[in-house]
Amino acid sequence: MSERLIYLCIGGNLGEREANLEETRMFLNFNFGDVVSVSSVYETEAWGMSDAPAFLNQVVLIKSELTDEELLAEISELEEFYGREREEGHYLDREMDVDILFIGDAKIETEHLVVPHPRLHLRRFVLEPMCELAPDFIHPVLMKSIEELLKVCTDPSKVKLINVE
């Protein structure tokens, strides 16, 4: 498979949040392909959860030759390492979460993978760091730039710049 540019959102709200982000970036570089660039780190309110600790989030751009199936397997392995649990219909606290935002300009819809991420345009904690890396990137379904999506995002969550990378 040829190399593809993949945008991921990584983050968590438990444990050593900054160290977890750093370890995850190293894991991505070693197991996924080359980390091309990373956004700053942002602290965000827990989206869809009440009384939960704040998250640290970051968008990472990688260049990878992994297939979709290999990509999902590596993400699953990483999240399992951090003890990620899932509960249907509920968001849970976690040390690390990895969401695939974009795989180039591909549109993918399978049982296990939907790309672009179907809710990224509704989430300020994704749009802010994504806009830092690629404000002019055009969402291949909505046909708007990330900057345009951020301007019209109605998510009232607070997103605070913590650490400039």
In one-letter notation, the amino acid at residue 78 is L
- For the chain, how big is the Rg over CA atoms in Å? 15
Instruction: Assess whether 86 carries a catalytic annotation.
Output: no
In angstroms, the CA 95 to CA 82 distance is 6
Question: Look-up: residue for tokens 């790309």?
Answer: 115
* 143-to-7, 105, 106, 117, 139 alpha-carbon distances in Å: 17, 10, 13, 14, 5
43 forms beta bridges with 56, 160
What angle, 0 to 180 degrees and rounded to 10, lies between the N-to-C axes of helices 17-31 and 68-81? Answer: 150
Strand 114-115, strand 108-109: pairing:
antiparallel
| Choice among 4, 17, 25, 97 that is catalytic | 97
| Choice among 4, 17, 25, 94 that is catalytic | 94
In angstroms, the CA 38 to CA 106 distance is 21
Instruction: Assess whether 84 carries a catalytic annotation.
Output: yes
Instruction: Assess whether 99 carries a catalytic annotation.
Output: yes
Catalytic residue positions, numbered:
84, 94, 97, 99
